[in-house]
Each structure stands twice: as structure tokens, then as C-alpha cells.
Amino acid sequence: MNMPDQDQVRKPLLGIIFITLAFLGYAIMSGFVKACSLAALPSQEIMFFQVLVALLVLSPWFIKYAGQELVPKNKWLTAGRAIFGLLSFYLFFVAVKLVPLVNAVLLQNTTPFFIPLLGLILLRKKIALRVWATIAVGFIGVILVLNPGQGFLRMGNIIALAAGLCSAVTTIIVGRLENKGESAQTILLYFLAITILITGLWSIPVWKTPHGIFWIYLAGAGVLFAAFQILFMLALKFASAITIAPFIYLVVIFSGVVDWMVWHQIPHLMTVVGAVIVIASAILSTFPRARSSTS
């Protein structure tokens, strides 16, 4: 039997390292956002600064691809991806102010459950029995998270779940754009540009000038958001989606640590049980799609 090439062994490990670093940064970024939200900075203003800083950080990468490649081939789909991406992040930013960070992050990452349901409704794609089962079990976990002894319809949890739905729509649109030959840098550039324009105008009536340490938090959120984009793409370069899928949910653990260290919040037992069910079901629901996409 031939020994595997060292690069073949190293590449999946690099992908796992990059995805772990990406979501560690995402959890810290979410902590910065929560700190700014608790200081009464409007969510749209936080988004404006975060995305503006991210665009500045990523500008050398965009300049490298300047020219015809950055002109979208599908303008309406590209704009739709930007709008739903904006909505997902805005709802998430609102949610982190109302509920523990771990709740908001977990419920935002219910995307794998919504994607097959939206595929059935919008694209008439059939759902395999196994996927139906994982979705059903996953939503049982969601119900447990929604009701950690503090009220089933706690608004922050519902808002975070809506963020997950918007994220699923975004994922479907990105898939359509990639199938039509749209480049990753074009999709990301127009998301950032449209978000800056909309949140900038949206912030004017409610503007509250940040002060002191919050400038650092906003800058940090922007830098980490840019780093997340780069690290996520690197992870997919070195490892398949099916390899990195289980590690995406490390963000829930990282967010729980941030919650505990900064705000001394310990997740309710029902939240922990629900999180385990959601994460396991989400990973299982991802596997069939990942296999079909690589076959």
C-alpha cells in the first residue's frame, strides 16, 4: 500500500486550523459587537463601521482583482445576496443585545436546517428522508434553546433564528451565483459596498458617536470580520466542505467562553442540551449535501 503524500495529509489539517481560527475570530468579533450594542450604539451603525473597516482591510485583495472580474454578471442576484446578508447580520446584532451570546450565535447557525426547506419551497428540490429526520431533531434542539426556562418566545432568540433563516437564503443565492460563474471576490465586494451604503444612510437618523474604547471594539470587529472572510476561503482551499463542517460549530463553544469570561453568563442546562442536539443534527444534515456536491 502506498503511503499518502505528506501534502495530502497536511492540507486537511490546514483547512481545520484555518476554519477553527476563523470562528474563534468570529466569536471574539461577536463579543465586540455585543459590547457596543450594550453601550446603546445602534446596530446599523455598528454594522457600518464593521463593514467599512473590513473593506479597508480587504482593499489590497480587491485591487489585485481590479478590472472586469469585479463587475457582477448577475446584478440582481448579487444585490439580493447583499440584502439578505445585511439582514442576517443586522438581526444577529440586535439579538446579541437581548440574549446571551451563545444563544444568538447558535440560532444564527441554524442555516443547515433552513437550506433544504427553502430548496423545497423555492427550487422544488426533494428532501431525502434522512435529511427530514435531522431537520426534525435539529428543531427539537432549537426549541430547547428557545425555552431555557425564560419564556418560549423570548424576542432575542426569535430574532437570532430569523438571522439564521436570512443566512440560509444568502447561502442559496451564493450557490446560484457561483454556478453562474460569479467570483467570490465580486460577491464579497458588492456585499460590503451595498452594506456600507445602506447602513450608512440608515444610521444618520439615529447616529450616536462612539467614544473611548468603543472605537477599538468597532475597529476590532471590522478587522476580525475581514480575517474571517480570508480564513474561511483558505479553509475551503485546503479541505473539503465535509471535512470542515463539524468544526464550524466550535464557534458556539468559543462564544460560550466569551460570554463566561466577559459577562459571567453560564448557559442554562436546557441551552446546552439543545445546542448539542442542534450541532449534531446540523453536521449530519450537511453530510448528504456535501457528498452529493462532490460526486
Domain that holds residue 114: 15-294
Question: How many domains would you assign to the chain?
Answer: 1
Nearest one of 273, 295, 279 to 246, comparing CA atoms:
279
- pLDDT (tens place) for every residue of the chain, 295 residues total: 444 444 444 578 888 899 999 999 999 999 999 999 999 999 999 999 999 999 999 999 888 876 667 788 888 999 999 999 999 999 999 999 998 898 899 889 888 778 888 878 877 777 777 777 877 887 888 877 776 555 555 788 899 999 999 998 998 898 888 888 888 888 899 999 999 999 999 999 999 999 999 999 999 999 999 999 999 888 888 887 777 877 888 888 899 899 999 998 887 788 788 888 888 887 776 655 544 444 3
Task: Give the model's pLDDT for residue 12.
Answer: 81
Is 251 contained in some domain?
yes
Is 202 contained in some domain?
yes
Is 173 contained in some domain?
yes
Nearest one of 80, 87, 143 to 110, comparing CA atoms:
143
Buried b (16+ CB within 10 A) or exposed e, 267-284: bbebbbebbebbbbbbbb
Task: Give the model's pLDDT for residue 33.
Answer: 96
* C-beta separation of 185 from 70 below 8 A: yes
> Any idea which residue has 483547512 for its cell?
15
Is 4 contained in some domain?
no
Residue-wise DSSP of 83-106: HHHHHHHHHHHHHHHHS-HHHHHH
* C-beta separation of 288 from 129 below 8 A: no
* C-beta separation of 214 from 36 below 8 A: yes
Task: Give the model's pLDDT for residue 285.
Answer: 66
Is 237 contained in some domain?
yes
Task: Give the model's pLDDT for residue 81.
Answer: 94
- One-letter amino acid at 65 equals Y
Task: Give the model's pLDDT for residue 153.
Answer: 58
Is 177 contained in some domain?
yes
Q: Report the C-alpha gap between 41 and 36 in whole angstroms.
A: 6
Is 90 contained in some domain?
yes
Is 6 contained in some domain?
no
Question: What global pTM score does this model have?
Answer: 0.84
Question: Looking at residue 2, what DSSP letter applies?
Answer: P
DSSP element (H, E) containing 286: helix 269-294
